[in-house]
Chains A and B, each alone.
Chain A
Amino acid sequence: MLKARNLIGVVGLSFAIVTTAALADSDVYGPYPVTVKGYSGKKTNSVSYSGQIARHALHDSLKKLASKGNGKPNADLKAKMMSYFKGKDKGRKIIAPKTKGSYVVKQTTIDEISKKKNIAGKTFKGSIAGMPGNMTGPELVAFWIDKASAAKKGVDYANGYDYGQLISKFIMGAMMYNQAVDNYLDEKLGAGKKPNDKPYKKGKHYTGKEHSWDEGFGYFGAPAHTLKLTPRQVYEIAKQGKKSKPKKNALMFADYNKDGKVDLKSEHTFGPAYYAAGFDASVYGKGNGTKYLHTIVKAFIDGRQLITSAGGEKLSDVQRTKLRQHAAVIGANWQKVLAEATYKYAGSVYKTMGKLQTIIKANGDTKKQLRKYIKYWGELKGFALALQTGKKNLGETATRLNRMIGAGPLMPNLSQVTDIDSKGNYVRGQGSSWGEYMLHMAKVQRLLVDEFGVRARNNAISGDLADLAKKLGGGKSVEND
């Protein structure tokens, strides 16, 4: 009996080592062996970021809910949205991402991914200078949820807000980006914080540093096997087949363990990674050979391997310095992705303004373009605010972004939200001229190039200027006649 148990133990251990070694592919984030000293449990893989994936699913679901309003105050909808934002209740269904055709999603409830998770608790608590009312991050989202629940399909045509977009893009910064770059990849890399020679929490099978790093990776939302895929494929995964030919390709790209289902915990593409992939794959425009996605994921993997290699010992100063270098690469590239997105939507807002102007001049029907305009503006504003939730205060750059974009879009009747009163009503006034606001968009793009060095530059407003200038040649000349 004893022998049999020993045998099982030996076989089990060697199996664990063999599989871990076999799967410890340097192109995939995990599995990584358990290194916690004295760990007596059965787990063999120390990777864990299901809490972050649960929050991604809460975020995607909340965005979906934001468009369910019927135009009248709706307490039920508001309560439901709040439960996805602030609640920790059991039994919340995943509203998005859900199975779509051949793209079969393994989990159907939030609890299957991770229990008792919410967004509000992890949302940036500083005051958001880019919106009136001096609200903190969670207050602002709650304010938007209240408005969204009362707006028809989540859109306010009078003031120009698309709440789904605002909420979603803002959370991509205030939760995902902020938690990763300002917390897990910053404070928690300190020598005294979450040391590597102790479990993250008592009894856990991962060390403090391992889990901190995993959580950062989780917030980025990339499939663990991203480096096995092209950015285009990672993008198609997020689209769940909508952009794939044939549609089932999306499942093929995502399903790394070939069980026929997409495990949200490690195989799906969420928000930040989706945008990084989009820019790199030039799906929004001609692009410029950026490599945000692979650079970020590679840095995450390199960092995690470094931590794993410490074998459960405290990290030396040299190791932590190296780790901080990987974190810096991640932070810088992630910031660029947000800046690229802000840039892209400033361009979309600008283009739609041009179209609206033509339609208005011809006394045409603006409804369709207005809908687009409000959507793009929501994405622009959401990303511009997201950009400001990083590790560093952006100072004057933030002030300029906020002033140029304003608290609301300039509406065709030249009104613009300027404030929110104590009851939460918008206060509007006469905004700038149409041309001036268009110019603001051009300047926003210029600012983003100057301050963040965005390179993909999708929807560039004055992009062809550079091409034409180059073509004309002869800028400097000593020729005459």
Chain B
Amino acid sequence: MDLFFFDYLRELFGPLLNPQKRIFFGFLFAAILIALGVQVFLYRMQPKNALAELFSIKIWLSESARADFKLMAVNQALFLGIAPLLISKLALATVLFEALHLIFDGRTLLLVDSPNLTIAIGFTLSVFLLDDFTKYVLHRALHRYSFLWAFHQVHHSAETLTPFTVFRAHPIEALLFTLRTILVQAITISVFLFFFGDRADLLTILGANAFLFVFNAVGSNLRHSHIWISYGRFVERLLISPAQHQIHHSTDSKHFDRNFGVVLAIWDGMFGTLMLAGKKQKLKFGVLNGNQHDLSSLYFLPFTTSVNAIAKILKKDSKRMVQFLKAVSRSSGLVGAILLAVSIFGVSFSFGNALAAELNIYSHRQPFLIKPFLEAYENRTGTKINVVYASKGLAQRLQAEGTRSPADVILTVDIARLYVYADKNLLKPVISKVLETNIPAHLRDPENRWFGFSKRARIVAVSKNARDAAGIARYEDLADPKWRGRICSRPGSHVYNRGLIASLIHTSGVAAAESWAKGVVSNLARRPQGNDRAQIKGIYEGVCDIAIINNYYFGKLKHSENVEHRKWAGSVKLIFPNQNDRGSHVNISGGGIAKYSKNHKEAVRFLEFLTSKQAQQLYGAINFEYPVNATVPLSSELNTWGTFREHKMPILMIAKLASEAQKVIDRVGW
């Protein structure tokens, strides 16, 4: 409690000693000098009278001013409790700073040769401008929206203005301004640090932002006072004068919604809310609907007013809401029936599961891709399936688990990844006539440890606008210098590209594959980056005309819910390469049975299911992949892309040549 009280006193009186605050005693003193100067020299008042007016008891001890002090005292205590609950600007700045790495894919410092002072000026100015602008925006919103005005009118209900009226604010308004400060500072700090490193620094005078210091030193405190100071027609378009702010507080309706700015008048100028001070006027301050000065009204009335305002807004939309609720209640009978059925089914299902067989799958394939298969299998057999999904690290996990591993089935994409499991001796051979019949020999392990369940073709996508590119017929054509600067590709080290290069090594040897890869790299339109989708986007955006992609990415984009994606797909045409010779390169998705599977029989049954007609059709339907089972027809969508001839090399060779292919990739810098 003692600590709290100490903190409280520091919060209350600290600003008087803090040059970052407007009511720093130095600024107050400057304001007094300026006010006296203006009264005596400009308005020819007797110094004695000027002093008397400045410190008039009628103003400083008015009911309104006393309310200012009370609000200030209570608010500071309230904020001691609220402030720790708010997100800190450092936390927000950190998140933004980190996000910028992804947005700009890395971090390159800008203006490395500029002097540090230039960067510091840039930073200080940016903080100041963004700060001032957002104050304008928020202030304007507080006037514009009735549910916000309910709170802001607490400030405007002041009938006498003193420098301490700046603290006459409802805590909700103070909260909004605090959040604004956090946002502005977090943005400027993170952006500047990201682009300029530790050269981003704040120019300060006595520890305060230099610009704000100047603003405060030249009499900002007189904005809330009865001293009329106008800067004249020219300057008042740039800077808000005390007189302009007093106009903002005026009860005269012609002054309403004018001069929202704090330091700069340019925002008011830009958005049509500027009013110049003109000749000295006698103004009355306050609000029209009764000025309240007792604390309970000041604190609690705004809530009811604001809620009423919100209710009014909602009422406009209420008709639609009523209709919706009626519809819901009409269908509630149906909804109830469905809920009942689902719960009965759920209970019987979980009861059944207690008796059913179990199967544990470790999958590199994304959950949404394998879920339909699992559901189909569960429905057919009643087996309970558990899935552990991870994009990488599963082989290591399996290895570490050893004989204790619960895994039964491994599912993954790409032969090289599948081969890793066989290579590390993590798979158990499977003897199954069904698998042998359904999967062609070149798509399964000669030692029966792994099996391909679907095929994916690595094909060429070309821009519909590039007529010449439509003539590409073979992978080999991509190395032709005539395509210089026109090809997009993901990095060579990705398993899909490495697989393609391995197939070329298998076909024509390392030297030929390398010279091909070299040719392709010299034809690239940009540094290899992103995934296959990004390459189609590259064509759509005109970065390149030709891309190497896996066939299903085209399908995903074509049927995407995102309109943009559909546009990307719409901009390209597919080419299945090497149709007149060896055929297009294919890779597989596949799987095998874990060496220490405790449910071997069930696992075999599951693998066999994956080669059945039902499952094989799902591969096409869900992910535009081709069935390995030759008796299963293509999905209607795949049919429209045209049938193709595949390169029937033993798929195992793709894995075996992976390391050689990687060396080629390193040498050519793909």
A residues with CB within 8 A of B: 127, 129, 132-134, 158, 353-354, 357-358, 360-361, 403, 411, 413-416, 418-419, 421-422, 425, 427-431, 433-436, 438-439, 442-443, 446, 462-466, 468-469, 471-481
Question: Contacts A422-B424, A475-B182 given: A481-B166 contact, CB under 8 Å?
Answer: yes
**With A427-B420, A435-B101 in contact, is A465–B177 under 8 Å at CB?**
no
Do A430 and B169 touch across chains, with their CB atoms under 8 A apart?
no
Option from B20, B109, B420, B425 in Cβ contact (under 8 Å) with A419: B420
B400 touches A438 (CB 8 A): no
Q: Which of B21, B193, B245 contacts A462 (CB 8 A)?
A: B193
- A134 & B665 in contact (Cβ 8 Å cutoff): no
Bound Cα distance from A471 to B492, whole angstroms = 46
Chain A's closest residue to B668 (CB) is: A413
- For chain B, residues 87 to 131, give those with C-beta under 8 angstroms from any C-beta of chain A: 88-90, 93-94, 97-98, 101-109, 127
Contact between B89 and A434, CB atoms less than 8 A apart: no
How far is A33 from B529 in the complex, measured between Cα atoms in Å?
68
User: B88, B93, B420, B669: which contacts A421 (Cβ < 8 A)?
Assistant: B420
User: Which 10 pairs show the lowest CB-CB distances between chains A and B?
Assistant: A415-B493, A430-B494, A435-B105, A476-B83, A478-B174, A414-B491, A439-B101, A434-B106, A435-B106, A435-B101
Say yes or no for B659: interface residue by CB 8 A criterion.
yes
User: Within 8 Å of chain A (Cβ to Cβ): is B399?
Assistant: yes
Q: Are B139 and A481 within 8 A (Cβ)?
A: yes
Q: Are B491 and A430 in contact (CB under 8 A)?
A: yes
B93 and A134 form a contact (CB under 8 A): no
The smallest C-beta distance from A160 to any residue of chain B, in angstroms, reads 11
The answer for the CA separation of A90 and B254 in the assembled complex, in Å, is: 101
B480 within 8 A of A: no
Which of B178, B207, B528, B529 makes the CB contact (< 8 A) with A475? Answer: B178
User: Given A413-B528, A422-B425 in contact, is the A466-B90 Cβ separation under 8 Å?
Assistant: yes
Q: How far is the CA of A431 from the CA of B178 in the complex (A)?
A: 41
Q: In the complex, which residues of chain A have a beta carbon less than 8 angstroms from the beta carbon of B82?
A: 476
Given contacts A442-B101, A479-B177, whether A413 and B669 have CB atoms under 8 Å apart is yes
Contacts A469-B90, A472-B127, A475-B181; A438 near B198 (Cβ below 8 A): no
| 12 A-B interface contacts by CB (under 8 A) | A129-B396, A413-B491, A414-B528, A415-B662, A429-B495, A435-B107, A436-B105, A442-B101, A464-B198, A471-B204, A471-B207, A479-B169
A415 to chain B minimum Cβ distance, whole angstroms, is 3
In the bound complex, do residue A354 and residue B86 qualify as a contact, i.e. CB atoms below 8 Å apart? no
> What 0/1 pattern do residues 246 to 263 of B give for CB contact below 8 A with A?
000000000000000010
Complex contact B166–A414 (CB within 8 A) = no
Given A469-B89, A475-B89 in contact, is the A438-B193 Cβ separation under 8 Å?
no
B572 proximal to A (CB < 8 A): no
Main secondary structure of the interface of A (DSSP, over half): mixed
Measured CB to CB, the nearest residue on chain A to B416 is: A427
The CA of A479 and the CA of B88, in the complex, are separated in Å by 18
Q: Are A413 and B492 in contact (CB under 8 A)?
A: yes
Interface of B is mostly: helix
Does B160 touch A at the CB level, under 8 Å? no
What's the Cα separation between A438 and B494 when bound, in Å?
Answer: 20
Asked if B607 CB lies within 8 Å of chain A CBs, one says no
> Across the interface, which residues of B come within 8 angstroms of A158, CB to CB?
663, 666
Once the chains bind, are B662 and A129 in contact (CB under 8 Å)? Answer: no
Give the chain B neighbours of A477 by CB distance below 8 A.
Answer: 174, 177-178, 181
Q: Which of B209, B423, B493 contacts A413 (CB 8 A)?
A: B493
Residues of A near B27 (CB, < 8 A) are none
A276 CB to nearest B CB, Å: 26
Q: Does B658 contact A (CB under 8 A)?
A: yes
CB-CB under 8 A from B420, the residues of chain A are 419, 421, 427
Q: Are B75 and A478 in contact (CB under 8 A)?
A: yes
A481, B178: Cβ atoms closer than 8 Å: no
Given A429-B494, A435-B102, CB of A478 within 8 Å of CB of B79: yes
A478 vs B166: C-alpha distance when bound (angstroms): 9
A480 contacts B155, CB within 8 Å? yes
> Which A residues are in CB contact (< 8 Å) with B455?
none
A472 and B185 form a contact (CB under 8 A): yes
Query: Bound state CA distance, A422 and B665, in angstroms?
Result: 22
Given A442-B97, A474-B181, 20 extra CB contacts under 8 A: A132-B395, A413-B491, A413-B492, A421-B659, A428-B662, A429-B493, A435-B107, A439-B101, A442-B98, A446-B94, A468-B193, A472-B185, A475-B181, A476-B83, A476-B86, A478-B177, A479-B22, A479-B177, A481-B223, A481-B245
Known: A472-B185, A478-B174. A438 touches B101 (CB 8 A): yes
Q: Which residues B399-420 have CB closer than 8 A to chain A? A: 399-400, 416, 420
A354 to B669 alpha-carbon distance, docked (Å): 20
Partner of A358, one of B76, B108, B245, B395: B108
Measured CB to CB, the nearest residue on chain B to A356 is B106
Q: Does B173 contact A (CB under 8 A)?
A: yes
* B-chain residues with CB within 8 Å of residue A427 when the two chains form the complex: 416, 420, 658-659
Q: B420: nearest residue on chain A (CB-CB)? A: A419
Roughly how many angstroms separate A439 CA and B108 CA in the complex, as a whole number? 13
Are A421 and B423 in touch, CB under 8 angstroms?
yes
B 473-498 to A, binary, CB cutoff 8 A, 1 in contact else 0:
00000000000000000111111001
The reply on B135 being an interface residue by CB < 8 A is yes
Listed residue (A127, A353, A421) with the most chain B CB atoms within 10 angstroms of its CB: A421
Cβ of B625 under 8 Å from chain A: no
On chain B, the residues within 8 Å of A476 by CB distance are 79, 82-83, 86, 178
B75 touches A439 (CB 8 A): no
Tell me which of A433, A443, A465, A479 contacts B167 (CB under 8 A): A479
- Of the candidates B88, B392, B490, which one forms a contact with A418 in the assembled complex, judged by CB atoms under 8 Å apart? B392
Given contacts A414-B529, A430-B495, A434-B105, contact A465 B190 (CB under 8 A): yes
Kindly list chain A residues whose C-beta atoms are within 8 Å of the C-beta of B416. 427
- Tell me the smallest distance from the CB of B51 to a CB of chain A, in Å: 27
Give Cα distance in the complex from A436 to B392, angstroms. Answer: 16
Q: Is B268 an interface residue (CB 8 A)?
A: no
Judge whether B536 is part of the interface by a CB distance below 8 angstroms: no
Residues of B with C-beta under 8 A to A411: 493
- Please give, as numbers and ranges, the residues of chain A lying within 8 Å of B662 by CB-CB distance: 415, 428
